[in-house]
Chain A
């Protein structure tokens, strides 16, 4: 092994260590960060190496230099794209590290460039030190030690390779005039620009955003590593104290908090009832006015009913100074539904709250106890319909209620430091609540909830219409008939639920601004048969009522929709704001029965139904095995459903595969025929040669790298074409050796000859040995 190749291998080792160091450091800052960049850049560097090693040496290889620059600057180009498309970005210093890493990789992949090996090594040294500043952990230290050892090895190799020769260019004694002048001019320009800019505070603020400690200024970046993240949004109060957010040391102005009542009732106001009598008012002098200093009452309880006949009013003025409008922060998989209220009756205009809590209220204390730290709400073993149990966390930020926002399918709840089961209770409607006037701000609840399987729907508890609760009777005849029409010929069970949801989505349009006319006798009939537009509560209510008319036990849940679009990459949580207030439906499965006062012993297992178009539902992650089996089932079902068509398609595919080469030959010849009409002799010869190389690739008979055209076995019977191709490739403008017609004729014969037969037995052993298809 020569010294140069030895040095290159040691350099590659150093580069590999530095690359790993960068990845570990970035991972330490933010787990999972930068994977996309690395997944793209490292294969690109390997591809560059593969291309560069086969590229003939040139004094000034502009192409390779451009490739190195492109790979180096790739993170700067990719980051805006990633932020826009994936919602994932990198801190500026991480981008810088990736730029250096890519440049280092590109230089290591192109050792034929001047001083590329030395520069790659220097880059690796800088990166290793740079990344060690971010994080000192076991991996970092291990890699540092490893780098030091290999670095000594590299120095030895560099010495033997001729240290003087390697660094001679950098130790010139003569002053490089042109670079020196250019540097001085650039410095002068930079100073001229920087001084006026730096004198302004806005500049310094902006520059601060480029440092690792960015954050805390309005120029900061949401993907910055340090600082306080979106702190300026939470603590940047200027005029209103209520703009302060969940910062432990700050005061919180409770009276400005939106209550649960506000969230659902002031979000869209009910139609104001006209006063039956009016009182006359007379003006009073200011001295005669009695000012009421009593603190305004705050409604902390959920409403007992929710009218579907509402009108849109102007929203409450939101404190402009408060940029962080989150009511809750949710850690866990999204989308998710956080239930706060339950309605199970419909009177034609309003949803009536459930009374399930009257039964549940005693069960919590008697039957469930805190097991370890979890307060078990339901005992549920994973089954096919609810295969997994997931953890999630809800942080109450700015919502005043004693209700606990509970994920759908919750089986257990806990709150850090709270070990008394009697701190929880069930509200009147059966929703989970705390036995306090209001859940303390910044309370953190942890939940375990069963996730519903997407492709294994639960079996539903379907009773006869007469057995269902009183709500079923609220569906008008028209609605009942419509529901029956929609599920006609649909098997009972979950298929009917899906049919109702999909037909409703087709039938009506989700419009949050639409309201039901105050003159309507039945809000749902108005929604279904007149306006066909409406907000989420109308979709949920309609679905619930229709399903009830079909015998399914349903209820409407109100709460918040945890929107995946709001996911905060930096904080790794999803904020929930007032606009996320949402209604959805739950249907009782056959796992249990609704608890009634008459006493059913089992807690019902409710499956979530997202009835509003545009909203999603959380499903359990599908396993690879499940996915494969589903695909297999689909294939089998398709074959069974259409056996003749399936056999025909399979036969066509098999024939196409077996005859793939003739088919592709036909395509290639067709393409050649098109080009031959317009291309002049030289161009046509080159096109023919390229198509022949494609065919060779198809037939796994690629021309070996070092074999010239005249010795290529594929052209053994077409030496006339080989000569033509040599003229076209290397003739440098020499006169065409043959008339155009003769050239076309030779090209046609070369392209028309069946490839496999033409080379069979004619391939030289040399070609056979070195044949490698690299396309």
Chain B
């Protein structure tokens, strides 16, 4: 009986071991949400940014902090409010009274993992301050460009329930997120385990040990980007994107940038599965989080629409 399911990558089984460690750390912090953890990891290794949409108290911050600790980088958190200024996020030049020179005081954006909590409560001006950081991994302050870490990763959260005093993210900003994930409530067993852990280790903040450093993370991200995508799968991606563009219910279909993002996330998904090639399963696995963040239109049930679209377009098999 052969139990080999996923053929191992030829390059370094240690990569898989590292990935497994991160996975374990995140699952320990966020119980009963292995699928969410997988998506978060796929987003991380695809060098994308993550939008978490859920009600308060479901572990968004816990997840972000656990991830930041796991990858061993610097973690920042910004609580977005309507009076939050762009400079509060990016940093600003401040006159040093002693030296009579301007010194740069960096903002929370200069981190490896940035949690922008309730991002839709910030004004569009402040939201836009994240545009450059998310897309180009740099910020421009007083005409001076400042580079962000190569592994810069934004986890933004938004509350879908509250609408008063909220500023919905514009499509341009949404397109800069690789995916949108809802954590959802854990199941009973997971909640029981959570309660028991809390009773025995009340002081624990949920953050685990560092598994790797930013340099190693960048290597893994590069490794994930080399995952092979055959032409059949690429054509499949194009067909799916075209279907969203031609659908009468969708006002704004997938952009080429979104298509690139989808492919990168699918590559990361295959990488996480230990494969050196992408299959249509990978494309479909990440379809809902990738598409739901950027499809704009008259869609009552986005997830249902995505499932229907996936069911309509034939997956490639034989030529």
Residue ranges of A at the interface with B (Cβ–Cβ < 8 Å):
1-2, 4-5, 54, 56-58, 686, 689-690, 693, 704-711, 719-720, 723, 726-727, 729-732, 734-738, 742, 745-746, 766, 769-770
Q: Given that A5-B248, A690-B318, A704-B311 are contacting pairs, would A730 and B7 also be in contact in the complex, using a CB cutoff of 8 Å?
A: no
A705 adjacent to B313 (CB under 8 Å): yes
Count the B residues whose beta carbon is within 8 Å of the partner chain — how many?
37
Residues of B within 8 A of A705 (CB): 311-315
* Interface 1/0 per residue, B217-232 and A, CB below 8 Å: 0000000000010101
The chain A residue sitting closest to B312, CB to CB, is A706
The chain B residue sitting closest to A59, CB to CB, is B238
Residues of A within 8 A of B235 (CB): 56-58
Q: Given that A726-B281, A730-B277 are contacting pairs, would A742 and B2 also be in contact in the complex, using a CB cutoff of 8 Å?
A: yes
Q: Identify the 6 closest CB pairs spanning chains A and B, nearest first.
A: A737-B7, A706-B311, A708-B280, A705-B314, A2-B248, A56-B239
Residues of B within 8 A of A4 (CB): 246
Q: Given that A726-B279, A738-B4 are contacting pairs, would A766 and B311 also be in contact in the complex, using a CB cutoff of 8 Å?
A: yes
Give B302-319 interface residues, CB cut-off 8 Å to A: 307, 310-318
A746 vs B5: C-alpha distance when bound (angstroms): 11
Give B1-46 interface residues, CB cut-off 8 Å to A: 2-8, 10
Residues of A within 8 A of B3 (CB): 720
The chain A residue sitting closest to B10, CB to CB, is A735
Residues of A within 8 A of B125 (CB): none
Q: Given that A730-B232, A738-B2, A738-B7 are contacting pairs, would A707 and B315 also be in contact in the complex, using a CB cutoff of 8 Å?
A: yes
A723 adjacent to B318 (CB under 8 Å): no
24 A-B residue pairings within 8 Å (CB atoms)? A2-B248, A705-B311, A706-B313, A708-B280, A708-B284, A708-B315, A709-B315, A711-B281, A723-B4, A723-B6, A723-B7, A729-B232, A729-B317, A729-B318, A730-B232, A730-B279, A732-B277, A734-B7, A734-B277, A737-B4, A737-B6, A738-B4, A742-B4, A770-B311
The chain B residue sitting closest to A711, CB to CB, is B281
* Chain B nearest CB, measured from A724 CB (Å): 8
Q: Given that A720-B2, A720-B3 are contacting pairs, would A727 and B311 also be in contact in the complex, using a CB cutoff of 8 Å?
A: no
A727 adjacent to B239 (CB under 8 Å): no
The chain B residue sitting closest to A729, CB to CB, is B317
A726, A737, A769: which has the most chain B beta carbons within 10 Å? A726
Residues of B within 8 A of A729 (CB): 232, 279, 316-318
Residues of B within 8 A of A720 (CB): 2-5
A732 vs B233: C-alpha distance when bound (angstroms): 11
A730 adjacent to B311 (CB under 8 Å): no
Chain B: interface secondary structure?
loop
From B4, B277, B284, B316, contact of A56 by CB (8 A)? B316
From A708, A711, A732, A766, contact of B228 by CB (8 A)? A732
Indicate if B236 sits at the interface (CB-CB under 8 A). Answer: yes
A737 vs B313: C-alpha distance when bound (angstroms): 29
Residues of B within 8 A of A745 (CB): 2
Indicate if B276 sits at the interface (CB-CB under 8 A). Answer: yes
Give B238-260 interface residues, CB cut-off 8 Å to A: 238-239, 242, 246-248
A26 vs B314: C-alpha distance when bound (angstroms): 40
Residues of A within 8 A of B228 (CB): 731-732, 734
The chain B residue sitting closest to A54, CB to CB, is B314
Residues of A within 8 A of B242 (CB): 57
B277 adjacent to A727 (CB under 8 Å): yes
Residues of B within 8 A of A727 (CB): 7, 277
A744 vs B284: C-alpha distance when bound (angstroms): 29
B281 adjacent to A708 (CB under 8 Å): yes
A706 adjacent to B5 (CB under 8 Å): no
Residues of A within 8 A of B315 (CB): 705-709
* Interface 1/0 per residue, B154-187 and A, CB below 8 Å: 0000000000000000000000000000000000
A690 vs B318: C-alpha distance when bound (angstroms): 9
From B10, B239, B279, contact of A57 by CB (8 A)? B239
* Chain A nearest CB, measured from B285 CB (Å): 9
Residues of A within 8 A of B312 (CB): 705-706
* Chain B nearest CB, measured from A718 CB (Å): 10
B281 adjacent to A706 (CB under 8 Å): no
* Chain B nearest CB, measured from A167 CB (Å): 20
Indicate if B139 sits at the interface (CB-CB under 8 A). Answer: no
* Chain B nearest CB, measured from A564 CB (Å): 48
* Chain B nearest CB, measured from A66 CB (Å): 15
Residues of A within 8 A of B278 (CB): 730
The chain A residue sitting closest to B3, CB to CB, is A720
A723 adjacent to B5 (CB under 8 Å): yes
A54, A56, A711: which has the most chain B beta carbons within 10 Å? A56
* Chain B nearest CB, measured from A212 CB (Å): 43
A58 vs B310: C-alpha distance when bound (angstroms): 18
Residues of B within 8 A of A711 (CB): 281, 284
A720 vs B3: C-alpha distance when bound (angstroms): 7
B281 adjacent to A710 (CB under 8 Å): yes
B10 adjacent to A731 (CB under 8 Å): no
For the A-B complex with A706-B310, A709-B281, A730-B278 known, give 15 more contacts whose Cβ atoms are closer than 8 Å. Answer: A2-B247, A56-B313, A705-B311, A705-B315, A706-B311, A708-B284, A709-B279, A710-B279, A719-B5, A726-B279, A729-B318, A734-B7, A737-B6, A766-B307, A766-B311
Residues of A within 8 A of B10 (CB): 734-735
A732 adjacent to B248 (CB under 8 Å): no
A769 vs B308: C-alpha distance when bound (angstroms): 11
Residues of B within 8 A of A726 (CB): 277, 279, 281
From A2, A686, A704, contact of B318 by CB (8 A)? A686
A704 vs B8: C-alpha distance when bound (angstroms): 29
A1 vs B232: C-alpha distance when bound (angstroms): 30
A766 vs B303: C-alpha distance when bound (angstroms): 14
B311 adjacent to A707 (CB under 8 Å): yes
A5 vs B249: C-alpha distance when bound (angstroms): 12
Residues of B within 8 A of A1 (CB): 248
Residues of A within 8 A of B247 (CB): 2
Residues of B within 8 A of A731 (CB): 228, 230, 276-277
A275 vs B277: C-alpha distance when bound (angstroms): 105
The chain A residue sitting closest to B311, CB to CB, is A706
A708 adjacent to B248 (CB under 8 Å): no
* Chain A nearest CB, measured from B216 CB (Å): 25
From B8, B239, B246, B279, contact of A708 by CB (8 A)? B279
A720 vs B6: C-alpha distance when bound (angstroms): 8
Residues of A within 8 A of B232 (CB): 729-730
A732 vs B313: C-alpha distance when bound (angstroms): 22
The chain A residue sitting closest to B238, CB to CB, is A57
* Chain A nearest CB, measured from B46 CB (Å): 18
* Chain A nearest CB, measured from B182 CB (Å): 20
Give B274-295 interface residues, CB cut-off 8 Å to A: 276-281, 284
* Chain A nearest CB, measured from B130 CB (Å): 34
Residues of B within 8 A of A58 (CB): 235
* Chain B nearest CB, measured from A641 CB (Å): 50
The chain B residue sitting closest to A704, CB to CB, is B311
The chain B residue sitting closest to A742, CB to CB, is B2
A742 vs B2: C-alpha distance when bound (angstroms): 7
Residues of A within 8 A of B7 (CB): 723, 727, 734-738
A101 vs B313: C-alpha distance when bound (angstroms): 30
A689 vs B316: C-alpha distance when bound (angstroms): 13
B284 adjacent to A734 (CB under 8 Å): no
A737 vs B315: C-alpha distance when bound (angstroms): 23
A708 vs B314: C-alpha distance when bound (angstroms): 9
A1 vs B246: C-alpha distance when bound (angstroms): 10
Residues of B within 8 A of A738 (CB): 2, 4, 7
* Chain A nearest CB, measured from B91 CB (Å): 45
B280 adjacent to A746 (CB under 8 Å): no
* Chain A nearest CB, measured from B86 CB (Å): 38
B248 adjacent to A734 (CB under 8 Å): no
Residues of A within 8 A of B277 (CB): 726-727, 730-732, 734
Residues of B within 8 A of A707 (CB): 311, 315
The chain A residue sitting closest to B233, CB to CB, is A730
The chain B residue sitting closest to A741, CB to CB, is B2
Residues of B within 8 A of A734 (CB): 7, 10, 228, 276-277
A730 vs B307: C-alpha distance when bound (angstroms): 22
